[in-house]
Structure 1
Amino acid sequence: MRSPLFEGFDYEHDMLAFDTDAVRECEWDQVFASDPPARLEFPLYLRRERYNRSSEIVHRHNDFLALYIVRGGRGTHIVNEQACSMARGDVFIMGEGAAHYFRNPIDLTLDAIYFQARLWSSREWEILCGLPELTSYLAPDSQNMKAPQNSDHFGHLSPEPHTRVEAVL
């Protein structure tokens, strides 16, 4: 029996639509251009994504960041050549310029929140980037991402908080 966690997607990864030999460069206007104009004016976008047994399409978010919450399934997230397994409740943050892909996803379902830095004022952004817990995620460089403890894995939601987050998203 199929869980309702694997139904109702905004985006389902289609591996046939991409060239697997090149890094796909993603710009905010390009990725979200097919959506209503308000999406281009307001720098925040939410969608539910599904990846299942798809190929490894490397892509880079050039001018936006991402927060991923794993709703279900499993796989491995590779960011700047650093691997981290993914399971229900895991939270990942990706900064601008990070190259990533999903390896061996099996019914991997993500609640994805994409945003641009302009969502906050320059002072608010300065404060966020100044927090040691967020620095390597919001402004990742090769040194931050190569440290063994630093991938894009930010943490894990236990079942109760995860259920509340799912209800909102």
Structure 2
Amino acid sequence: MHASVRLHYKHPVSSQQDLQSCLFSSLAMHPQLPLCARQEFYGQGTDTGLHKHEDFYAFYVVQGGRGVHLINNQPYAITRGNVYVLPPGTTHAYRQYSQLIIHAFYFQPHLFSMTEQAALRALSGFWQLFVLPDEQAATCETRIDHHLHLSPEQHREIEQEINEICREFSTDTLDGTLLTQNQFLRMLIHVARWQGEQGSDNWQSEPAEASDIDLQQKMGLAGVVHFCEEHFHESLTVPQLAAQMFLSPSRFSEIFSQEVGMSPAAYIKQLRLERVQTLLRTSTLTTTKIAHQVGYRDSAQLARVFRSTFHSTPTAYRRSFQAQPE
């Protein structure tokens, strides 16, 4: 990233009296653009202290670690792959964090032209990325209690886009400035599209107070989701995953389905098939080797699962990309 920020706080408990105001003019922004790009690191702690974003938007991509993001007095468990936007006027703090690494992009609306702003507003997924204050959330049809969680394949793609943005961000040329703005807009559109496509599956619309899942369980579940993303190629079972949260398999499955939007088995299947699609597009590995890499017994099992999900064979899927003009 353009800047690596390591923050250390001494406040054991944050309160409204400790609230610090943050103006966009105080940030290390791009010399030509109303944009600040940096990587923030929070090692080990319980509370960073509250501060308020007065006049800018914040776009966050969690790169690693875990913690609780207190946003407008509402706690959200966050871990690698979470993506969300905070509007101006947001009060927030990080709590109970451990090795938390966040890609942070702070910007003002005039970064984009009126046409570009209209294009973003037209994407329903863009608005679903916002974590709104209670008074604004009350005007929405549903109360959102989740952020978008990127799959491993989506996270790899976003990491590449972030690296491109930061490479151009550090240049002091006209072409670098244009590419920085363009690539940041491109990333926002990609994420908003993913959210729009997957929103009904990955976001919960029940009021937070109606849920019987406490914050510690949400943090534990975030760890389990990350474990699945790192080990989906292994033979994972519900009892094995439930044991990580000290829950019965039935209770774990209930919590997982409520928070993630699908069963543990369905989520592992999704992770495997996303990796299969990537390998079919980008490698020359045989379907047998791909099957073994993602956790299937053989190419026959892979073909059955692939066809039942995508109504196509792995071979036909690969050919469709090979046939595309370069």
Q: Is the TM value for this pair above 0.5?
A: yes
Task: Kindly provide the amino acid, as one letter, of the partner of residue 46 in structure 1.
Answer: A
Deviates most, 23-32 or 131-140: 131-140
Structure 2: how far apart are the matches of 1:117 and 1:138? 15
Pick the aligned partner of 1:81 from 68, 73, 77: 73
Determine if contact 2:8/2:48 at 8 Å carries over to the other structure: no
Counterpart residue number, 1:3:
none
**Bigger radius of gyration among the two:** 2
Residues 1:13 and 1:156: Cα distance change in structure 2 (over 3 Å):
same
Structure 1 SS opposite 2:101? strand
Identical-pair percentage: 28
Work out the CA distance in 2 between the residues paired with 1:130 and 1:141: 22
Task: Give the superposition deviation at 1:87.
Answer: 1.0
Measure the CA separation in 1 of the matches of 2:90 and 2:54: 8
Return 5+ residue gaps in structure 2 as ranges. 163-326
Is 1:46–2:37 an aligned residue pair? Answer: yes
Deviation for aligned residue 1:134: 3.4
Q: SS at 1:52's partner residue?
A: strand
Bigger CA drift: 56-65 or 123-132?
A: 123-132
Q: Aligned residues, how many?
A: 155
For structure 1, list consecutive stretches of 5 or more residues without a partner in the other structure. 1-7
Give, in whole Å, the separation in 1 of the partners of 2:133 and 2:122.
15
Give 1:15's aligned amino acid.
Y
Seen in structure 2, the aligned counterparts of structure 1 residues 121 and 138 have a Cα distance that, compared at 3 Å, is: farther
Alignment of 1:15-164 (within 5 A): 15-16=9-10, 21-32=17-28, 39-54=30-45, 55-129=47-121, 131-135=123-127, 140-145=132-137, 149-151=143-145, 153-164=146-157
Q: What TM-score, normalized by structure 2, do the two folds share?
A: 0.42
CA–CA separation in structure 1 for the residues paired with 2:32 and 2:43: 32
Amino acid of the residue matched to residue 21 of structure 2?
E
One-letter amino acid matched to 1:142: D
Q: Larger strand proportion, structure 1 or 2?
A: 1
CA distance in 2, matches of 1:64, 1:134: 16
2:19 alignment partner AA: V
Deviation at 1:12, TM superposition (A): 0.8
The one-letter code sitting in structure 2 at the alignment partner of 1:104 is Q
TM-score, reference length from structure 1:
0.76
Equivalent position amino acid for 1:57 in 2 = G
* Aligned-partner residue type, residue 111 of structure 1: H
Q: CA deviation at 1:127?
A: 4.9
**Counterpart check, 1:14 vs 2:8:** yes
**Contact 1:64/1:114 (CA < 8 Å) preserved in 2?**
yes
- Give the direction of change, closer, same or farther, for the CA distance of 1:126–1:160 in structure 2 (3 Å limit): closer
List structure 1 segments (4+ residues) > 6 angstroms apart after TM superposition. Answer: none
Distance in 1 separating the partners of 2:131 and 2:124: 11
Per-residue Cα deviation, 1:103-158 (whole angstroms, up to 9, x for no partner): 1110000111111111112453355345444346569443334687425x530110
